[in-house]
Amino acid sequence: MMAIPAPELDDLQAISQRWGLKISDGDLAIFKALIDGALGSYHEVDAMYEASKPSAPDRRSHRPDDADNELGAWYYRCDIQESDSGPLAGKTFAIKDNTTVAGVPMMNGSRIIEGYVPLRDATVVTRILEAGGRILGKSACEDLCFSGASHTCATGPIRNPWDKTRTAGGSSGGSGALVAAGEVDMAIAGDQGGSIRMPSAFCGAVGLKPTFGLVPYTGAYPIEWTIDHLGPVARNMADLAAFLTVIAGPDGDDPRQSNAPSGIDYTTGLNDGIEGLRVGVVAEGFGYEGLSDPDADARVRSAAHRLADAGAVVQEVSIPQHRDALHVWNVIATDGALWQMIRGNGYGMNYRGLFDPEVMEQTMRGWQSNAHLTSQTLKFVILCAEHALSHTGGSAYGRASNVRPQINAAVDAALVDHDVLCYPTLPFAAKEIPSADAPVDEYVARALEMIPNTAVSNVTGNPDLTIPVSGGDGLPVGMSIVGRQWDEATLLRVGRAYEKLVGGFALSPMAQARVGG
């Protein structure tokens, strides 16, 4: 806890000058006395909070050495199991290191937060443990989660289990890599612009960004309130459905969940098939000039049309607003992240919910001492957003929010005539990890270039499942399956139908070796 000292007159004079208040020295002395009195409430609240806050449990954990961290995908290792029965019994889990596990250090991939030890389990962690799951550690992630590749993590790059020279994707790269390598059965991942789906696609796993608000974000480090999601990563659809069943539903502490349903068993109907289901293949998701790999596009289009073999009706569909969504996301994610995550030390203000004051203080101290150690991607965001906000006062963010419903309306209209929409999760397969001394433009491009399709569902809030549509001899390629809000069950059913068509999803070489061993 950081006590607030009484201000000096010089402090108040500096504030007055910064805001152009033009307060006289005599009036400043009066204001000082008023502020000294007002600070009593701050001290009383501190005392109330200190009397009620929990103590971190004693959970043994350790930083893995290189021999135990071949992919750089672990941040901390632990072994936590609180029940040996339940729907997740016998399954192992990694928790993305933006999500709290009480008593286990959390860094969020960044020197800004390094040294923080949470006092509380995130809601999803509590639910995993109550359902019999066994947590084996915290999976490494990108610097404050602002990257779609895996080279910005402060502890070093996270490597792809199909080819260790290539990116595992971000920002949940550790989660995707550990699942795909067979080191854990499932993992929690986070998603503001595609960060569940990007590592899943690059690493050949299945990952679901649920409908906005379905899975409680309580206990995860925020970036921007309106695009924050947590969700599951797994190697097969049965595990993914069981995992979602456990973690979904309101917890009473996350204001993002005002409309979320509860008590849904997503394993029910998983194998019912997709006879007559209408699939729209979105033309605008393919063929990004200078970005899309024609081979990846062809594989995804072929996979989407292959759903007809399971009885689906597959048609091409055009949604021009699909490509507008990236521009809306850029403004919301850039200005919104600066306002909440950076200026607001993660949580910001002005909403009811369960805050983490300890990590807010840790973040403030980190920005004061370690800002120069942040990634080039975060430096780009700060520079761009500060420039924009200085000229717009936040009105650009307001305009982006006001045109956001146009994207929702276009997607909703397409989902009247189609049950799901399909397109490439990413425009290409995993690229090589940039060198440590890569120029800034290359570094930032590799971190952000892959998001034009994934960002759409963060703008709209629709559920978005990625499944691998190729593997074995080649690098994995992901196909996104997008559905109506709160209709995760249909997406899972489509993913399962495709999984059956191909005889199961291919395992990475590392997972094959583990199974063989």
Residue 48 lies in a domain: no
Average per-residue pLDDT for the chain: 97
The verdict on residue 33 lying in a domain is: no
Q: At 5, phi and psi to the nearest 5? A: -75, 160
3-state secondary structure of 469: strand
* 431 is an active site residue: no
Length of the chain in residues, anyone? 517
DSSP output for 153-167? -TT---EETTEEEEE
Mean pLDDT of 9-32: 96
Give a yes or no: residue 291 inside a domain.
Answer: yes
Alpha helices in 24-90 (DSSP H): 25-52
Mean pLDDT of all residues in 486-505: 98
Instruction: Give the C-alpha separation, 175 to 138, whole Å.
Output: 9
Q: According to the model, what pLDDT value does residue 471 have?
A: 57
Using CA atoms, how far apart are residues 51 and 66, in angstroms rounded to an integer?
Answer: 41
Q: Extract the tokens encoding 74.
A: 């672990």
CB atoms within 10 A of CB 173: 37
Res 416: pLDDT: 98
pLDDT greater than 90 at residue 2: no
Question: Of 61, 91, 96, 508, which is the active-site residue?
Answer: 96
Concerning whether 195 is annotated as a catalytic residue, the answer is: yes
Tens-place pLDDT, residues 122-159? 999 999 999 999 999 999 999 999 999 999 999 999 99
- 28, part of any domain: no
The Cα–Cα gap between 389 and 219 comes to: 28
Structural domain includes residue 10: no
Residue 416 within any structural domain of the chain = yes
The CATH number for 283's domain is: 3.90.1300.10
Structural domains in the chain (count): 1
For residue 37, is it within any domain? no
CA distances from 26 to 7, 162, 290, 332 (A): 15, 70, 64, 43
Q: What is the pLDDT of residue 1?
A: 66
Residue 138: CB atoms within 10 A of its CB come to 28
Cα angle, residue 421 at apex, residues 416 and 425 outer, rounded to 5°: 155
Structure letter (DSSP) for residue 342: I
Taking Cα atoms as reference points, which of 178, 237, 232, 223 lies closest to residue 203? Answer: 178
| 229 closest CA partner among 209, 204, 248 | 209
Spatial contact of 224 and 256, defined as CB atoms under 8 Å apart: no
Whether residue 123 is contained in a domain is answered as yes
Distance, in Å, from the CA atom of 189 to the CA atom of 208, rounded to the nearest integer, reads 9
What pLDDT, on the 0 to 100 scale, is given for residue 517? 55
pTM: predicted TM-score of the whole model, two decimal places: 0.97
pLDDT tens sequence across 68-97: 999 999 999 999 999 999 999 999 999 999
Q: Which residues contact 408 (CB under 8 A, 6 or more apart)?
A: 459, 460, 461
**Which is the catalytic residue, given 171, 175, 457, 470?**
171
Q: What was the pLDDT predicted at 3?
A: 81
Task: State residue 114's pLDDT score.
Answer: 97
138 is catalytic: no
Question: DSSP secondary-structure letter at 236?
Answer: S
Residue 356 main-chain phi, psi, to 5 deg: -125, 85
In terms of residue numbers, what domain contains 205? 61-516
pLDDT in tens, 444-478: 999 999 999 999 999 999 999 999 997 556 899 99
For residue range 194-232, list pLDDT tens digits in order: 999 999 999 999 999 999 999 999 999 999 999 999 999
Per the residue annotation, which of 110, 147, 150, 195 is the catalytic one? 195
Q: Which residues have CB under 8 Å from 413's CB, separation 6+?
A: none
Average pLDDT of 52-59? 92
